[in-house]
Amino acid sequence: MSKTNKTSETNMTSETNETDTWEPKIIAFLCTWCSYAGADLAGVSRFQYPPNIRIVKVPCSGRVSENMILSALKSGADGILVSGCHPGDCHFISGNMFARRRSPLLGNLLEFVGIEPGRVSFSWVSASEGEQFAEIVKTVTERVKALGPATRLIKKIDQAA
Amino acid sequence: MPTINEKLTEEIRTQAKALLADGTVAAVIGYSRGSLPMTVKPTVVRASEDCGKLVWNSFCVLNLANYLPEVLKSVEPPRGPRDPKPEGPLAKVAVLATGCWSRNIVVQTQEHQVDRDRVVVLGVASRGMVSRRKVEEQFAGREILAVEEFDHDLVIKGADFEEKINRWSVVRDNCQTCTRPDPVLVDVRIGEPASERKNPNPFQQVDKIEEKSSDERWAWFTSEFSTCIRCYACRNACPLCYCPTCFVDDAKPQWVGKSLDAVDTGLFHLLRAYHCAGRCTDCGACESVCPMGINMRMLTKKLNKDVLNLYGMEAGMQPASPLPLTTYATDDPQKFIVTEAKAVKEGE
């Protein structure tokens, strides 16, 4: 997890300078049972989707804590996507339901402190929904592209010194 | 004629003395006089002859529920981490509690930090606690040497001045918007019960920030928390923060940097507030202890508002039901969920 963030951070700083060719970096936390398998299916079925997402495989969407989401933002991610099984389909019975409970609280809190709405998204994708996964990634990428590069809550090491 | 607080102090001393003398409790958590004007010290009294040092006034801003788990442990016979629980009933602890503190005790009970049977709640209706900072702001540049308290006024005394100010005008923001001054748990009643206060919108302070634009809110957030020195007083004063290892002390992975970098302080406050979601009773201890005068309570208040609006729950008000984030409903709101139906529609 920290490795992914570090790479995205170094790449980010070099890329933000070239605004014309800017492509957002989106960290996608996918649950291993549904959404990750859905992404796999999208790949196997050759559905095209934007290559902007960096996938982090997690055991369950309920495993994704606010620490991880904020840590990804801090490291320079332009967008976050958390995706799990559809309600009722969770491998652990209710992990995604707890994730759904938490999602509006974190989303609203981030909006409250001035993070643009649309940076953090959540979704449900089952293992058989390859096409839907591609659609969701397209929507999320377009949304983040419209917002532009993230500038808030990013820790810039060179400036901190 | 004695003031309300003098009467309450007397009653607290008598009740504490009685509880300690007949062995009902092994310790009483209360307040004693502080060394500076407008301060009090949280105190644990373990002998009935020491009860005379207990006081009650408008400056009791710290939340006594914070000390409860530790004091409960201190009255147990010493044992190692793997030793079995001693047989027979364990010693009890009495604690003073106003509305918000008693709700924190409910939350601690729900989270199995406190055994309700071992706690004797001395319930006091809060009249709103005074913010020392607000008083000092009114007397900027002048040293306050003593403060005398009357029922509705405070008399502020310095070397060359003596002024009377209205008590309510310097009461803390969270107390001014509070609707439940009366404790929800009472084993021993101190003073008269208070009725519920009417407040059409307790979240007015939050609404004011919500009305701003995204950029303005970001500007507010960065300026409000820019002075933070990361002393963690807000965390230490909070009765909800009892994790053996706090996320700020985690080194691998390090969620929040330990520097004074604006992003690190911002993330610390966001995460601290988020960890209190659905558990915070807006007691205002965090804000009262902050040496820099940061209004970090706005973040927890915002979460309180969302938890109430989305899940209809208020911390400490539903002792029988689980905490809002430890449960779920099948029809929970999906505001941030991108569904494929929406995705297809937007893609077209």
Every domain of chain B and the residues it spans? 4-129+181-190, 204-326
Whether residue A107 lies within 8 A of chain B, CB to CB, comes out as yes
Give residue A4's pLDDT band: very low, low, confident or very high (50, 70, 90): very low
pLDDT at B348: 43
Give the Cα separation of B64 and B61 in Å (integer).
Answer: 9
Q: What is the pLDDT averaged over residues B215-228? A: 93
- The predicted model scores a pTM of 0.89
* For residue A7, pLDDT beyond 80: no
CA distance A105 to B278: 10
Residue B292: per-residue pLDDT: 93
| Contact predicate A59/A82, CB 8 Å | no
ipTM: 0.88
Average of per-residue pLDDT across B323-341? 82
Q: How far apart are CA A150 and CA A26, in angstroms?
A: 11
> B197 or B20: whose pLDDT is higher?
B20
Average pLDDT for residues B232-246, to the nearest whole number?
A: 92
Residue B26 has pLDDT above 90, yes or no: yes
Q: What is the mean pLDDT of chain B?
A: 90
Q: Do B270 and B299 contact (CB within 8 A), yes or no?
A: yes
**d(C-alpha B81, C-alpha B84), whole Å:** 8
* Confidence (pLDDT) at A2: 45
Confidence of residue B250 (pLDDT cuts 50, 70, 90): confident
Given a cut of 70, whether residue B204 has pLDDT beyond it is yes
The model's pLDDT over B39-87, given as tens digits with 9 standing for 90+, comes to 999 999 999 999 999 999 999 999 999 999 999 999 988 888 888 888 8
- Put simply, the answer to whether A105 touches B336 (Cβ < 8 Å) is no
Q: How far is B321 from chain A (nearest CA, A)?
A: 16
pLDDT digits (tens, 9 = 90+) for A94-111: 999 999 999 999 999 999
Domain boundaries, chain A: 2-148
Q: How far is CA B39 from its chain centroid?
A: 16
Å from B327 to nearest chain A CA? 7
Q: Which of B255, B303, B335 sits opposite A67 (nearest CB)?
A: B255
**A161 reaches B (C-beta below 8 A):** no
The pLDDT score that the predictor gives to residue A6 is: 47
Q: What was the pLDDT predicted at B45? A: 95
Select from B302, B335, B336, B346 the residue whose CB has the most chain A CBs within 10 Å, as the one to mutate to test that interface: B336
Q: Is A154 on the interface with B (CB under 8 A)?
A: yes
Smallest Cα distance from A21 to chain B, Å: 22
Q: List the B119-124 sheet strands across, edge first.
A: B40-45, B27-33, B93-97, B119-124, B188-190
Q: Which residues contact B309 (CB under 8 A, 6 or more apart)?
A: none
Give pLDDT, residue A1.
Answer: 42
> Would you state the pLDDT for residue A8?
46
In this prediction, residues A69-92 reach a mean pLDDT of 92
Shortest CA gap B303–chain A (Å): 7
- What residues of B are in contact with residue A160 (Cβ under 8 Å)? 259, 261
pLDDT of residue A111: 93
CB–CB contact A160 B335 (8 Å) = no
How far is Cα B176 from Cα B202, in angstroms, rounded to an integer? 9
- How far the first Cα of chain B sits from its last, in Å, is 78
From chain B residues 180-239, the ones with a CB under 8 A of any chain A CB are 209-210, 214-221
In 3-state terms, what secondary structure has residue A31? strand
Which CATH code fits A2-148?
3.40.50
Question: Is 60 exceeded by the pLDDT of residue A9?
Answer: no
